[in-house]
Structure 1
């Protein structure tokens, strides 16, 4: 029977109206680009609408409205759309962002065939412009239906006058999780929300912060590097991919170039060439380039390229050698297909070190045309350009990098010396300024000397004034921001760096760590997984990869990752340490002790083991032995010191216990008063107050901690679950009361809230379906 297109009926429905920000202006500027973005928008949004049962009623240019039978599904759909677009935009140039405003209303609509009419539709369309770019606005009818059914908070926008709508009603902004963490500097951002309740600590409310383009002429070595990178890219992307293992994607490991120079102390030069090739290849999107840290362990190895490729999971290897005599340099390089053992490309370069123009014409210009078919003009220019024209400045830069990678205070100071020498020779050497910023950041973190921080920021800003698109400068500024408590700014800098250099492995790991600090476990997991793939032999990457998995209850996967990497890095403290915490949290102290015994065998001189042994005893109530072990530890974390304070109270040494609490309380309160977005000061203050028996204050602070990203575990270096933390699970004053904070109904409610958050993160990470 054919449906009558004139038939109509009225019903109560949820209407979602969307509009793309900046679409009209883009159409005027670049119609093709605008249409492409519009097509991409629908490609992203349509599957989400279908998932939540949305029915698209009408499309008007870049705007469309969709009908839902459930207002909760409408809101969850809008949240999913904005989350997906937020991730889509995170690593793309701003001109390629897809940013939507979304309005949702629940009201009476008239359905005529495939169209809908009435105030319900008009109101949704009128409130959509009230949403922020990338945001969601809802009416009070929607708010009333969903306020107790979602974890999000809401910001009232008042009762605006809407065109051709006579009644006035409250409109709300939905506080999105990423806005909750990143938009805290907005003075209108609510300081007190459902998800971040005010603390009741001694009547104070902790303050939570809402929180010249350079010449393309280059010395020989840069020309050679550009040539090697370009030739590798050409063969990987154009000529020989059919013979490569497609399961690994486009992937390459650049082995340490063999130093054939007889002069002692010249390894910095060949190592620098290796690193610069890795860095340049990392600019190419879609090419997985194994990081320097994982590669350097193969320096001087007797392993075959096939064995190495298997260990780092790549299908091509670039290897070579460098010989330097006075001002003459020979670079030999060959690109090998691991599947066929064929040489995809090989070349030998004999040049003078400072023969800039000859090398530029002989190498870079001769292959530029071959690149145009595969790489953008911008990337071609980037790969064949240089940050300096001065070969001696470049050598000083390499020496500085070599010293930095010793990761010692002396090494950082030496790095600064060499980078300054490079800048004396070339005052516009942007990379040298960026590396100065890195070195000063590490010195500041080591010494807490404010002048190092200030000089670091100045160095980075100078680098960016010379080259605004220098990924290394954004990375350095991100480190400085992270070390100065500016976590949100740090994340923004790191994302910008990865936008400019997609394979920047160190930054990718840092992004994962930032998301961990914000409590976004699914994002943390995705970034750490990528970092681990790019840098499989790094001492910390399996450890960082496993942390979000443990918190999301994916223990088997985490253990498998750790066991695999322990076969390569047999003396790892971090990997065995987190396995110790896993067993201790599960109450399996026999297995926990076996991890400690293994650590003592492979790292007999590491005093951090005493801290773990102290925790092993303190968690079991063996206070005297716990205190004795902690006294032997070098620098126990503040979280460990809190358990030590509890032990002193149990041993009737109140003065020592209170001294620890006062020190931690002072430092943590200062961070809170400065508006720290981190959960750490809140979680520490919660334990301080719990130890004093101030449960009401402690519970309020725990709620604040959860609102600031606490996900049940103190820290990667103190991975004790709050559910087994003796501070919350033992009577504080057993002589007077058997009261246990963990059994308090308010604690149980917080635990249930956190369980919901973890479940949500498991869904977003793909470990759990929404129906589970």
Structure 2
């Protein structure tokens, strides 16, 4: 097995999907609360470097569906699944959670939590820490950060409104975006110091611009104000820096400031693979390979989200890799056959490949799904231009009205009508159309590139030099694991702590404690849990449970062969040896011995 395959295998083991927690409250409208708790736990787990965490959108695909955990694990490519429930009654909340091994469907950890609502944030941290510990103890080393208990708000009413706003924003419908803005504003009215509410309000404004609820200028200025308010309250609010990055890129055209805001967002916890950086690599750096790499990574952590595959299709489209774009858009449509954006883009790409009838079929289907609204109308005209029907297109354009002036500019450029194209492009510039960022490399502008008027506008955009489509070389990463083997301990420390560990095991027989955890052992020998985890995995080539269960297994064998224990059941002996469940005992025994415990005992009696 080569290095890349080995890292891929390790990543699959150290991976989790958090399924939507079931709302057990008497009020079905509390769905927003159980969804919000689920998302907060996902967000906390994503801060654990080396742990592959499936994104919310793919996990929520299985909401309200009775599907075998092993099937879910296979579809998402994860070793573990967290499922649970939430019951909210007035000011109290009860959360149950259990971790399940997707290989065999066995539960290897479960816990109930009863808290006052005021403790909800520390509870979320506690749950994510316990989950991370359990995955590390069972599947291998990764560092777990210490979660500081920074409460986003002290006012539970504000948090409740925030969760409602987040619930609607994630749905991304027209009415949902309007509701989300209202809820975020209400949350801020309850707590004017609520940084997260300001940052999410900023994102909601950007979505509002996309739906045409407000002008590009109004939406982006409001988004900027919201993000800056969030940063003033919390300088390390990753979401706010992400919102600013979008404003700087698509509205200010300040490339350096956009990238700086993005880097701050990453430093403060935003996942490195995201849509902003793929847009930046495409439009600003013209680094198509890098953009494609990012988009591919997103499909790994969000494999069942239609937008992930659509986004990958866009990167192929702008890179003019049309056949691969069709495959990505088709993958999106396998998930949602009625996703009109993927259908219209697939039709557009087919048009550029000269497959005109297939292109028209897709675009007409997209128009049918969108009731004749949206950019599929623009795509239809592009395909007709490619088919040579220029007079027909011009006739339609002369009767049309446009929300974004870049739309007719694109069409007139493709028609090779530079005067009309420049007229509309200047208007688009004045309107600060988001498509102005595409001037550098989008081929639809190729007919204008030698025009002095285009060059004047282009120069004012002050684009940085391209990277000539060369992907910048980074350390090879698979998921979130980097191929580095940095030692966390020197040689003398390794010898010392291994000796301390051996003493605990052989002299105190700590493995007989069925509730023993890596953190407890680390505390006993005076070593940070992250370092003990590294020591076991790097030096002994075992995760914590493999190491401890090996001693439990040998202890069981001795007990099982002792005539004085004839009156004790096999499971009773397993419990005395330190195993804490029938499933974990039987699974580990069969894995190590190749037969069941009962068959092994009978074999020894012969």
TM-score by length of 1: 0.51
Q: Does 1:488 align with 2:243?
A: no
Structure with the bigger percentage of strand: 1
Quick one: distance in 2 between partners of 1:395 and 1:298? 24
Residue of structure 2 equivalent to 1:298: 62
Deviations 1:251-285 (A, max 9, x none): 21111111112214221111111111111111111
Deviations 1:67-102 (A, max 9, x none): xxxxxxxxxxxxxxxxxxxxxxxxxxxxxxxxxxxx
What SS is found at the alignment partner of 1:405? Answer: helix
Of 314, 336, 341 in structure 1, the residue corresponding to residue 78 of structure 2 is: 314
- Structure 2 CA distance for partners of 1:308 and 1:499, relative to 1, 3 Å: same
Of 697, 709, 715 in structure 1, the residue corresponding to residue 452 of structure 2 is: 697
Quick one: distance in 1 between partners of 2:394 and 2:125? 69
> What aligned pairs does 1:589-628 form with structure 2 within 5 A after superposition?
589-596=356-363, 599=366, 605-606=372-373, 608-627=375-394
Of 101, 125, 137 in structure 2, the residue corresponding to residue 337 of structure 1 is: 101
Quick one: distance in 1 between partners of 2:230 and 2:176? 22
Quick one: distance in 2 between partners of 1:660 and 1:554? 26
- Structure 2 CA distance for partners of 1:563 and 1:645, relative to 1, 3 Å: closer
Deviations 1:216-245 (A, max 9, x none): xxxxxxxxxxxxxxxxxxxxxxxxxx9x96
Greater shift in the superposed pair: 554-563 or 249-258: 554-563
Residue of structure 2 equivalent to 1:283: 47
Residue of structure 2 equivalent to 1:396: 161
> What aligned pairs does 1:380-395 form with structure 2 within 5 A after superposition?
380-382=146-148, 384-395=149-160
Deviations 1:543-581 (A, max 9, x none): 321344455565554444333332112123333333333
Preserved contact between residue 250 and residue 437 of structure 2 (Cα < 8 Å)? no
- Structure 2 CA distance for partners of 1:357 and 1:295, relative to 1, 3 Å: closer
Quick one: distance in 2 between partners of 1:469 and 1:532? 27
Residue of structure 1 equivalent to 2:425: 664
Structure 1 residue 527 displacement after superposition: 1.5
Structure 1 residue 481 displacement after superposition: 2.3
Residue of structure 2 equivalent to 1:497: 265
Structure 1 residue 292 displacement after superposition: 1.9
What SS is found at the alignment partner of 1:345? Answer: strand
Residue of structure 2 equivalent to 1:578: 345
Greater shift in the superposed pair: 325-334 or 552-561: 552-561
> What aligned pairs does 1:145-544 form with structure 2 within 5 A after superposition?
246=10, 248-354=12-118, 379-382=145-148, 384-407=149-172, 411-443=176-208, 446=212, 447-448=214-215, 453-485=220-252, 486-501=254-269, 503=271, 508-518=274-284, 519-544=286-311
Structure 1 residue 321 displacement after superposition: 1.1
- Kindly report the root-mean-square deviation, in angstroms, between the aligned alpha carbons of the 2 structures: 4.6
Residue of structure 2 equivalent to 1:62: none
Preserved contact between residue 259 and residue 322 of structure 1 (Cα < 8 Å)? yes
Preserved contact between residue 44 and residue 128 of structure 2 (Cα < 8 Å)? no
Quick one: distance in 1 between partners of 2:218 and 2:369? 39
Residue of structure 2 equivalent to 1:679: 439
Quick one: distance in 2 between partners of 1:385 and 1:479? 26
- Structure 2 unmatched runs, 5+: 1-5, 477-606
Preserved contact between residue 82 and residue 97 of structure 2 (Cα < 8 Å)? yes
Greater shift in the superposed pair: 324-333 or 408-417: 408-417
Residue of structure 2 equivalent to 1:237: none
Which structure carries more relative contact order (alpha carbon 8 Å, separation 6+)? 2
Q: Does 1:569 align with 2:336?
A: yes
Quick one: distance in 2 between partners of 1:702 and 1:269? 49
Aligned residues: 462
- Structure 2 CA distance for partners of 1:609 and 1:549, relative to 1, 3 Å: closer
Preserved contact between residue 19 and residue 59 of structure 2 (Cα < 8 Å)? yes
What SS is found at the alignment partner of 2:95? Answer: strand
- Structure 2 CA distance for partners of 1:441 and 1:644, relative to 1, 3 Å: closer
Quick one: distance in 1 between partners of 2:474 and 2:224? 36
Deviations 1:448-500 (A, max 9, x none): 37565455434333333333222122122223323423343223222322233
Quick one: distance in 1 between partners of 2:231 and 2:346? 42
Residue of structure 2 equivalent to 1:588: 355
Quick one: distance in 2 between partners of 1:588 and 1:456? 41
- Structure 2 CA distance for partners of 1:706 and 1:433, relative to 1, 3 Å: closer
Deviations 1:302-338 (A, max 9, x none): 3322222322222211111112222232211111110
Quick one: distance in 2 between partners of 1:762 and 1:513? 16
- Structure 1 unmatched runs, 5+: 1-241, 651-656, 712-755, 767-772
- Structure 2 CA distance for partners of 1:388 and 1:513, relative to 1, 3 Å: same
- Structure 2 CA distance for partners of 1:710 and 1:297, relative to 1, 3 Å: farther
Structure 1 residue 431 displacement after superposition: 1.6
Preserved contact between residue 405 and residue 427 of structure 2 (Cα < 8 Å)? no
Quick one: distance in 1 between partners of 2:443 and 2:108? 56
Preserved contact between residue 367 and residue 377 of structure 2 (Cα < 8 Å)? no
Quick one: distance in 1 between partners of 2:350 and 2:100? 45
Quick one: distance in 1 between partners of 2:132 and 2:391? 71
- Structure 2 CA distance for partners of 1:489 and 1:408, relative to 1, 3 Å: farther
- Structure 2 CA distance for partners of 1:259 and 1:665, relative to 1, 3 Å: same
Preserved contact between residue 283 and residue 441 of structure 2 (Cα < 8 Å)? no
- Structure 2 CA distance for partners of 1:451 and 1:636, relative to 1, 3 Å: closer
Quick one: distance in 2 between partners of 1:288 and 1:681? 34
